[in-house]
Amino acid sequence: MIKYQSDLASELTTTLSTLEAASERFAARHPGEPASRQPVHVVYGGAHLFSRNSAAKLGELALRSLDSYAPDPFTFARALGLPGSSELTSDEAAAKSLYITDPDALRRDDPNTWLAIAVYDRVRGKLETEPVEDFRLDFEDGYGNRPDDEEDATAVGAAQEVAAGMSAGTLPPFCGIRIKPLEGALLVRSLRTLDLFVSTVVRATGALPNNFVVTLPKISVPEQVTTLVRAFEVLERRHGLAPGSMKLELMIELAHGLYDERGQLLLPQLLTAAEGRCVAAHFGTYDFTASYGVTAAHQRMDHPACDFALDLMKAAFAETGVFLSDGATNVMPVPLHRGGDLTSEQTRDNRAAVHAAWHLCHRHIRRSLTRGYYQGWDLHPAQLPIRYAACYAFFLESFEPAAKRLRNFIDQAAKATLVGDVFDDAATGQGLLNYFLRALGCGAVSLEEIEVTGLTEAELQMRSFVQILAGRRVS
């Protein structure tokens, strides 16, 4: 064999140094998926309506809706259109009994029925223990434009309720506020609300809530993001908060805010302007479609205009560590007729209306999940059961084959392996791990169930496929 030695690289020293610097910048901007938990939703509610017990109250209302319109797993599954819901067993009592005594047998022999019961059981458990994962006190669309003294009072009052919730331990694991846009006549008002809210909370508790974030809407230029960052710096200095501790969330909701005047995509510029403080980017379905020229009758989550914007967001924020969120279904699952003395026809109408809204909501959420959007908005407590049901079904229905693939992959110590007709490579290993981390994070599965993959709790906490394999090689 002829050995060939090249000194080409030695003649490209300057070029290679430039390449190395560019690669380092790219790696710094694209650190990959964050290790922190991403909530599966954010509930938006007017700041004037928030109380320290809002999360618990929403959970109670969600359970009431579930009990009223789907008191059993089979009704629920059929209303949503869960996978296999048209093939459920007719012997519901026997299936429920088997789910309790031998769930593995039911899962093996009748996976559709098992899925319906498992989803319903886990949804109820979630609503009873942690009904809301993320809550945004809204000073924008959900609050409106009010006299300054009224918004001042709301900002202080809402902050006092948040502080009380911090002390009582009743806040959701994630929370924040949405301020008004930083533009025109609203600019000063928005900054004042931010100041009053943050100052009130910190003076009462000495800190902001865990995972606190400020949502910036209607962004049209990077300078709006820069302004919010500068405001954060002032508030941090004033109240002794750690530098960089205040985080922001971008709202992508203007068609004319996707590109700048030079035709360059604006989204990466917004991330740069955030100076490391951006933790999420949320899509505003209805403001965006309105700005896109879509008429009200056709403003919906699955409109092609939304797909265009969501794809741009995926590309712009890929591997940057920024969590992405889709929007909300705006058809509320509420009854048509009110009152306690309803006719049988009115009762049927109510049930049909709620089930239709549930089905639409489930379809929208599932579509978001398949597009890689693992978070969305919820606007009504009766949407909460659907949010969790969609997430749980999405992960549970493919749990067993994914677990088998991951276990085989790990056992082979990162060597490619073939399971059935699916070929895994190293990148897929991390993808499979991310699947289980998201399934665990949203409550679809438990640590005990994930043991089937061969992973330990300590390994899961690493959140890195490469680190898991390195640890196993050492041991």
> What pLDDT was estimated at residue 427?
67
> What pLDDT was estimated at residue 227?
98
Domain end among 395, 419, 450: 395
Looking at the structure, tell me whether residues 171 and 259 fall in a common domain.
Answer: yes
The stretch 218-247 carries a mean pLDDT of 98
Looking at the structure, tell me whether residues 302 and 451 fall in a common domain.
Answer: no
Looking at the structure, tell me whether residues 131 and 241 fall in a common domain.
Answer: yes
The stretch 124-135 carries a mean pLDDT of 96
Q: 135-145 pLDDT, tens per residue? A: 999 999 999 99
Tell me the helices (H) and strands (E) count for the chain, helix number first.
19, 10
> What pLDDT was estimated at residue 65?
97
Confidence of residue 93 (pLDDT cuts 50, 70, 90): very high
Looking at the structure, tell me whether residues 219 and 167 fall in a common domain.
Answer: yes
Domain assignment present for 263: yes
> What pLDDT was estimated at residue 474?
61
Report the alpha-carbon distance of residue 334 to residue 350 in Å, rounded.
8
126 has a pLDDT exceeding 90: yes
Give me the residues paired with residue 251 across strands. Answer: 282
The stretch 421-443 carries a mean pLDDT of 75
The stretch 61-69 carries a mean pLDDT of 97
> What pLDDT was estimated at residue 240?
97
Characterize the bridge pairing of strands 174-178 and 212-216.
Answer: parallel
> What pLDDT was estimated at residue 123?
97
Average pLDDT, the chain: 92
Looking at the structure, tell me whether residues 47 and 156 fall in a common domain.
Answer: yes
36 has a pLDDT exceeding 60: yes
46 has a pLDDT exceeding 60: yes
Largest CA distance in the chain: 94
Looking at the structure, tell me whether residues 336 and 446 fall in a common domain.
Answer: no
Q: The domain spanning residue 350 has which CATH number?
A: 3.20.20.60
Looking at the structure, tell me whether residues 327 and 448 fall in a common domain.
Answer: no
410 has a pLDDT exceeding 80: no
Looking at the structure, tell me whether residues 448 and 309 fall in a common domain.
Answer: no
Number of domains in the chain: 2
| Chain centre to alpha carbon of residue 234 | 29
> What pLDDT was estimated at residue 26?
94
Lowest-pLDDT choice from 63-67, 344-348, 371-375, 433-437: 433-437
Report the alpha-carbon distance of residue 135 to residue 47 in Å, rounded.
10
Lowest-pLDDT choice from 28-37, 106-115, 324-333: 28-37
Looking at the structure, tell me whether residues 233 and 170 fall in a common domain.
Answer: yes
Give residue 249's identity as a one-letter amino acid code: E
The stretch 12-19 carries a mean pLDDT of 93
Q: Which two tokens stand for residue 132?
A: 């809301």
Give residue 300's identity as a one-letter amino acid code: R
Domain end among 395, 414, 434: 395
469 has a pLDDT exceeding 90: no
451 has a pLDDT exceeding 90: no
**Percent of the chain, pLDDT > 90?**
79
Looking at the structure, tell me whether residues 242 and 211 fall in a common domain.
Answer: yes
Give 39's contacts (C-beta < 8 A, 6+ positions apart).
133, 134, 173, 174, 375
> What pLDDT was estimated at residue 462?
82
Tally of CA atoms within 13 A in the half-sphere of 361 that contains its CB? 32
111 has a pLDDT exceeding 80: yes
Cβ–Cβ < 8 Å for 424, 404: no
417 has a pLDDT exceeding 60: no
Report the alpha-carbon distance of residue 227 to residue 247 in Å, rounded.
13
Q: 452-464 pLDDT, tens per residue? A: 888 888 888 887 7
The stretch 413-437 carries a mean pLDDT of 64
CA proximity to 43, closest of 452, 331, 379: 379
Tally of CA atoms within 13 A in the half-sphere of 109 that contains its CB? 9
Domain assignment present for 148: yes
Looking at the structure, tell me whether residues 404 and 385 fall in a common domain.
Answer: no
38 has a pLDDT exceeding 90: yes
Domain assignment present for 15: no
Domain assignment present for 12: no
> What pLDDT was estimated at residue 4?
58
Domain assignment present for 31: no
86 has a pLDDT exceeding 60: yes
Report the alpha-carbon distance of residue 253 to residue 218 in Å, rounded.
6
> What pLDDT was estimated at residue 430?
79
Domain end among 395, 419, 454: 395
Report the alpha-carbon distance of residue 469 to residue 459 in Å, rounded.
9
273 has a pLDDT exceeding 60: yes
Confidence of residue 424 (pLDDT cuts 50, 70, 90): low
407 has a pLDDT exceeding 90: no
Domain assignment present for 76: no
Looking at the structure, tell me whether residues 197 and 287 fall in a common domain.
Answer: yes
Give residue 294's identity as a one-letter amino acid code: V
Domain assignment present for 9: no
The stretch 96-105 carries a mean pLDDT of 95
> What pLDDT was estimated at residue 423?
46
What is the domain range of residue 432?
398-474
| Chain centre to alpha carbon of residue 4 | 54
419 has a pLDDT exceeding 60: no
Confidence of residue 425 (pLDDT cuts 50, 70, 90): low
Domain assignment present for 239: yes
